[in-house]
Amino acid sequence: MERKVCIIAGGMSRWGAREGSQRDFFQEAAKACYEDIPGLNPKDIDGLLVASAMTERTSYQTHLAPLVAENVGVQPKNLCARVELLCGSGSSAIILAFAMIKAGQADVVMVVGGEKLNTPQKWETFYSQLASVDHDWDGPQGIGLPPPAFAMMAKLHMKKYGTRKEHLAAVTVKNRRNASRNPKAQFQTPVSLQEALEGRMVVPPLTLYDCCPITDGAAAVILAGKEIAKDLTDKPLVYIRGTAQASLSNMSANIPNLTTWDSLRIAAKQAYGKAGIGPQDVDVAMTHDCFTISEIIEMEDLGFCEKGEGGRFVFEGQNDLGGQVPTNTDGGLLGCGHPFGGTGIRQGLEVMKQLRGDAVQQVPDASIGLTHNLSGLIAAHTLVVYGKEAA
């Protein structure tokens, strides 16, 4: 019989442009995670998955999982591995941990992920991102650098659907305000709509405020089977109800549409089906707002609003606190930052808190939560659906 799987604890380091090493951030995240579940002995953790996209490039460290296991005080007996899917690494690791526990191959799995991206020569990190696309074809054209690619998407969305710069700026205002209430977030100061509109131009129409930052930090969560979870924590259990991933193309020439993300629509349909819900049932969402246009398109392709209505949807506050589907309540990528391997785990941590009822900015009576990551040049989309009740 397949086991029900719960997310039972989580924690994160302080995120930002930080002194310290990747190792330091993993240890901080693990410590915060342990503090969230005092009844757990680290020796009870029999599986470890480590999510990190650029550890070789920015930390000069490969064979990462055994190192992290030793650093965070676990001795995994059933599972010890690293997971890499660029921005989707953390969520992918959660999916794999979920599958291992569900299949009975592990009992208690820690998932920890993060990066050290602010290197002494920060330009190295930006140019390392050229390796996230086809290195022989798209990379030499500079397409692997995210701002130009997402600027194209924003321009096309504006032309096709009438999306305005004010719509983009509204995403930043919301997420930076949410981050200002999150003590672990990179950005602690809200911005006004006018400030967001007048930000330094990066690639038209995207200003600095439309782009998520380069970030150092890590996050960690612990997953366990339902029966074991009951013995480990007296906090409300949060279940993983459904997961999905989809990838239809990688090269820019093969992407069918820059303003409708077919991979996301496919993954969303699969995740909703496995979870036994529809988009109207989602109470809180953490989506991949690497750029403001991303969150707008995600509102559409996740089914929260009609195609082309995403700009107006966010501008009218429908994905803000008190709206139809509060989104990125902890600040998202635009506010918290984006240490690639840590983002999906941070999202899972925030949804867990929302469904337990102890989030900083609590969505009243939240019972279904969703996380979403895109990775590469919108090449892969990863979703996890969480619930107060099992599917």
Residues with active-site annotation: 87, 338
Place of tokens 């953790």: 45
- The angle that helices 146-161 and 292-301 make with each other, rounded to 10 degrees, is 50
How many other C-beta atoms are found inside a 10 Å radius of the C-beta of residue 142? 12
Token pair in block for residue 101 = 């526990």
Phi/psi at 47 (5° precision): -145, 145
Look at residues 233, 236, 234, 239 and name the one whose alpha carbon lies nearest to residue 40.
233
| DSSP symbol at 363 | P
Q: Are 259 and 156 in contact (CB under 8 A)?
A: yes
CA dist., res. 30 & res. 24, Å (int): 10
Yes or no: say if 191 and 331 are a contact pair by the CB < 8 Å rule: no
Q: Hey, what are 305's tokens?
A: 């609003």
| Residue 37 and residue 222 in contact, taking contact as beta carbons nearer than 8 Å | yes
* Cβ atoms 238, 388 nearer than 8 A: yes
How far apart CA 118 and CA 12 sit, in angstroms, is: 18
The region that residue 183 occupies, defined by phi over 0 for left and psi between -120 and 50 for alpha, beta otherwise, is alpha
Closest alpha carbon to 153 in 97, 203, 213: 203
In the numeric block, which tokens belong to residue 73? 């005080």
Looking at this protein, which amino acid is placed at residue 335?
G
236 vs 239, 358, 360, 390, CA distance in Å? 10, 10, 17, 12
